[in-house]
Structure 1
């Protein structure tokens, strides 16, 4: 039987996995500079967590969640996003009571949504996200926006655009909600069944509909910015002022709507503007939420965060020709000739690795020529040849694969010689 991976998933092979490691390392380093610390949550949670927080009118809850019953007849769901799990952990472990506030957290891991697979959109995908919980200061909104833009800068992407909107507070959203109902209701029969259902429950979701996005009523829909009360308007002005302070460019898009129900005030997306990226240009999305923690039984806690797909970030890197498959590379390859030398090479290989040197040897009983070919394929900086003559002299022949220079060294000095040469040479 030829078993293939499930549709919407992928294998990340050596050569490409290094790209993922590079992105993760860069994102973690930026988070360290901004004093964000890592949190890790389970891959599956109780289904109620997502229906309560993400929203029962969203596509995620209605169509995309991987939900199952365990042997205890409990409803569990593979996490479709990370914020709800962080909020649950925040309440369960009473992080809101920690001495240092606000709590600035980041996470990295697989998420699961049953969607139609396409380029940059998988059923199992990996998200990197941050959450700053416990502060309603507009300055932390600006900090989170600066953090995400710094991540893109660190990995080398330059063709990006930060897009902002305000969804206002509860009062502003309610006024906008009624205006949307009045706007769409007379012609709601022209829209898809999902939009018809959302009209009364959550008309803001209509603006996020992909099927009806070309309907003329979408372009003339009431703007949330016209319904912001004074408090919401001032909050948004302060966020923009802080971004202006630090020189972070942005554009305002009053039609920007996030796909989850827990957002209030600041909402944003980062868009890719590089050629060849594709029609769906969103790299990252996020916003402020002031009610999510209460939904999972915690105290009133303001928060703001974002998440981005690693898959889509890699697409953006490739669109800007910033990615090439990583080639293998090691410091030293041991070429052993004869049974005694092969036995001795096991000891030498272990000593090299204990000294912090990346090293390998032949395990397929290849001839000397074949072993040197393997060293070439691994881009070894040095090869060390050990045969019967070298064992008799208690020595080893070391070849610099870049210069072709070859020297003989006592076996007792071998490890230190390689270490010194590596530390003194240029890093590749």
Structure 2
């Protein structure tokens, strides 16, 4: 009942503003995460779509829509999840879509970007789903199940970081090949995976990146990832356990001392952040603190961490309204619907808080939000509701996730 009353009250808001006043924004750093569902069904298709922006089809319209969302929110630094790994596609999206005004929104230029390989769709050569066959032919569900991270081809559902500030590319750390078994006290289900699988399985379903960004005279470590959903498995809960440990990775990484000593990056360097280094953890964590299918309250490893500032929770009136209008599983949720960031199936699990921007304690938060307009807002055309017209993409005019942003005092 509390969710319904709250949602009804917030639904009375007609038009939302997603841009902070210019004078305020100039004094802050806007950091965002957006699972924009810009993945495609086959390798190279995303590059093809982004290279030809004038074509009017459902794929280019979606690309223009997600670009407009980013332009309306105008973050200074943004992580994009579910962007197929392709350095040229990352360049084309910035040049042909973000740097070109969409429906009058201010064009955004990002002179700095970082992209690296993803574990998704990279074959292990092993039978990871225990169906008796090691599928090594890209393009089908079984191949995805037997890859280091689920994907129909190498790099599907990858990541990219865009920044208006310089990225210290020489200091970037990636953890794509860190093995799950090497995390002390891991939750790897040894009764499900064969010894051969346990020996090679990587922790990251995509990757974990530490991307240092130079903002004036300081360095901000942008810690980004996209843990696997805690679903699509069996009673062994292998994806739920992996999601938990992918989230735990950052909890350990930002803790100075012995807790991070086991970590090694793709160049062999060991350990986590040094004491006092500034950071923001961002990404689609696929974990809600109150609802959904997470294993052992996975996200609370970050939300309850003594070095992470969780005093500000990004919210939107649109999320609260959606919970009321959609009903279903949403009416049984414990969490406050204002904080939802993803529009999922209403039968189960319902809308959830899945996407996070979490700064280090000591960084002053001056603003925050979730790009989820109420339906009376003209910009709600960008978030929309599930519609078969968009089924070739994902059923939405943009994504089933919403852009989440946080302003930090510069």
**TM-score (norm: length of structure 1):** 0.27
- Structure (1 or 2) with the greater helix fraction: 1
- Structure (1 or 2) with the greater strand fraction: 1
